[in-house]
A = this chain, B = another copy of it.
Amino acid sequence: MCDKGYPVQIGVGDDAASVEIEEGSLVVTTDMLIGGIHFFSDASAEQIGKKAVVVNLSDLAAMGAKPLGLVYSIGAPGDTDVEFIPDILQAMNSTAREYGAYLIGGDLNEAKELIISGTALGTAKEDELLLRSGAKPGDIVAVTGELGASIAATKAVMSGVSLEDKESLKRAFFEPVARVEEGRVLSESGKVNSAIDITDGLAANLWQISRMSGVKLIVDEDKFPINKAAREFAEEQAIDMDEIVLFGGEDFELIFTVRSEAWDDLSEKLLDLGTEATKIGVVEEGSGVFIERGEGPEMLSDRGYEHFLG
């Protein structure tokens, strides 16, 4: 944690951490992960640490912010293996570094269950912040990457199906990714009117944009960029695809709405990062979220992702 340009003035060990900042907007987000709810009780320290960071950085990504640092509070049972917490912290730190952020402080406590509360700090210019409330009639509704891999992997693990030959599900489960660079591209374009990350599920997150922007969203089922392995898994297991794609959560992809004239340029810039974006619908005047399927648009259920044990 001592490379050139390291902005942390005071790290772990004093009453508080201190980071050098410039004038602008400080973006802050916090999330609590609880063992057995947000990660499996037998998850590895590396998996837990990585997810704790990705969950928070994904929220920064959805704001178009540049990550700066993270602080964490960890509660753990007294009989936790002595290496487990340091291993979680190491995974948090190395994951943070992958995104140009630093682990700058924290607090450890004894608790009945393993609990990780992370707070991520980022910076942005105020006029570039991506909000949930900015969608405008005429915008394209789009999504980065693919849908369904994370929840399909979780369902597979829960039903004892091996992920060994399911590379993309395995990756979604063990190596979740926050779309931080993509979020920066969206915000810098000046043409993206709203954004949110998919944590509660496509349906619930579309509803949040609809409600907060006061607009109607119409999405087309045939356009959804469904992960191939997730689709195969759902078919094999006879799981309703809606449960995977619409009501499954934690894809950590970004849903965004953008002026249509900016689409070509923006999708090309995302492709430069190796990320395909897909148009899945349009914004209209009105309210609610509708899905084109079968004989016409029907209102989409505003049902969120239920964490596996929550």
Residues of B contacting A19 in the complex (Cβ-Cβ under 8 angstroms): 25-26, 28
Residues of B contacting A74 in the complex (Cβ-Cβ under 8 angstroms): 32
Minimum C-beta distance from A132 to chain B (A): 5
Once the chains bind, are B21 and A109 in contact (CB under 8 Å)?
no
When A75-B34, A111-B113 are in contact, do A21 and B26 touch as well, CB less than 8 Å? yes
Which of A16, A27, A105 has the most chain B CB atoms inside 10 A of its CB? A16
- Identical copies in the complex: 2
Minimum C-beta distance from A138 to chain B (A): 22
Which of A14, A73, A104 has the most chain B CB atoms inside 10 A of its CB? A14
Interface residues of A (CB under 8 A from B): 9-10, 13-32, 34, 37-38, 59-60, 62-63, 65, 68-69, 71-75, 104-107, 109-113, 115, 117, 119-122, 124, 126, 129, 131-133, 195-197, 212, 310
Provide a sorted-by-A list of 18 A–B residue pairs whose CB atoms are within 8 angstroms.
Answer: A9-B25, A9-B126, A9-B129, A14-B132, A15-B197, A16-B65, A18-B129, A20-B24, A20-B126, A21-B24, A23-B23, A32-B73, A32-B75, A34-B109, A73-B73, A73-B119, A75-B115, A112-B113
